[in-house]
Structure 1
Amino acid sequence: MTERKPPGVSFETWVDRQIREAAERGEFDNLPGAGRPLAELAEPYDELWWVRQKMRRENLSYLPETLVLRKQAEDALAAALRAGSESEVRRIVADINEKIRDACGRPLSGPPLNLVPLDADQVVRDWRDRRSSR
């Protein structure tokens, strides 16, 4: 359907003709979901529906930088508490603290960061307490 609308023909008539001819050629036969109701018809209107569908189809996700960093800090703390040695705990804490300090020094997208570097000594104490309680 790359042809242009002829002059003097109303747009609606031209479009209707294009659709009718495509249907006659069978271009609408065997389309995915034919004969079934639209899946999201009962859901509330979302103007970004196509973005969400594309991201779901492509298995993509997006979080603002601040939320990503909060999740990384949470995961780092959990990893530090499961670590096998004190040096590993301190390395994990140092890595996430570097990211937190870097983020605090520049503007980030998303909600406020509200995150401070972890206290490495406190994390080591918590790690030791968990190991001794096993």
Structure 2
Amino acid sequence: MDPWESPVERAIREAQERGEFDNLPGAGKPLRGIGASDVDDPDWWVKGLVQREQLDMTGAMPPAIALRKERQTFPESLLDLRTEESVRAVLEDFNRRVKLDRLRPAVGAMPPLIAPTVDVEDMVGQWRRLREERAEQARAERARAAAAAEVSPGAGTSRAGRRGRAAWIGRLLGRS
């Protein structure tokens, strides 16, 4: 025992003597995430954190790449908008942000990344077609559900089905 033992070292030594560190999970095995490949990648711990915590790293991307990623989601990401005016507003705001990003000075020897703008009229047309397709699919689904409810026995929604069941119950009880 060291005469100058700190309180923390003493607590650890006493816990070891009591056997509190025996048979811990992973005892004698290498630590996860630390290996030979980690020596080559200095950001291994950041990548592990992002993967483990399922973090959204779009805010850490260069603006031009984030804008390009956003552009790839059009027009599907606009389907929740109800009016053409709101779709146009979103697309015009996107084009404004792209143009502002182009004003950013270039850094380093590489040419700057440039995100393309969107053709607002073309994108509104695509939005319109997708909305019509989605509405048609919803109508077809409702029609299939209604047809299945009328045809399926025991549905109890159609008048003929109720009369047929009443007649069957009457015959069962001997009341013709």
TM-score range, shorter chain: 0.5 to 0.7
**Structure 1 or 2: more helix by fraction:** 2
Asked whether 1:90 is paired with 2:65, we answer no
Aligned CA RMSD, in angstroms, stands at 3.8
Residues 21-100 of structure 1: pairs in structure 2 closer than 5 A? 25=13, 30=21, 35=27, 36-42=29-35, 44-45=37-38, 46-53=41-48, 60=55, 61=57, 62-100=60-98
1:82 Cα shift?
4.6
CA distance in 2, matches of 1:89, 1:63: 25
Q: Which runs of 5+ in 2 are unaligned?
A: 1-8, 137-176
Alignment coverage as a number of residue pairs: 114
Deviation larger for 104-113 or 91-100: 104-113
- Aligned AA (2:46): V
For the structure 1 residues 43 and 23, does the alpha-carbon distance in structure 2 shift closer, same or farther, using more than 3 Å as the test?
Answer: farther
Identical residues among aligned pairs (%): 28
Secondary structure in structure 1 of the residue aligned to 2:124: helix
Q: TM-score, normalised by structure 2?
A: 0.47
Q: TM-score, normalised by structure 1?
A: 0.59
For the structure 1 residues 111 and 43, does the alpha-carbon distance in structure 2 shift closer, same or farther, using more than 3 Å as the test?
Answer: farther
Report runs of 4+ in structure 1 exceeding 6 Å deviation.
21-24, 108-111
Larger radius of gyration: 2
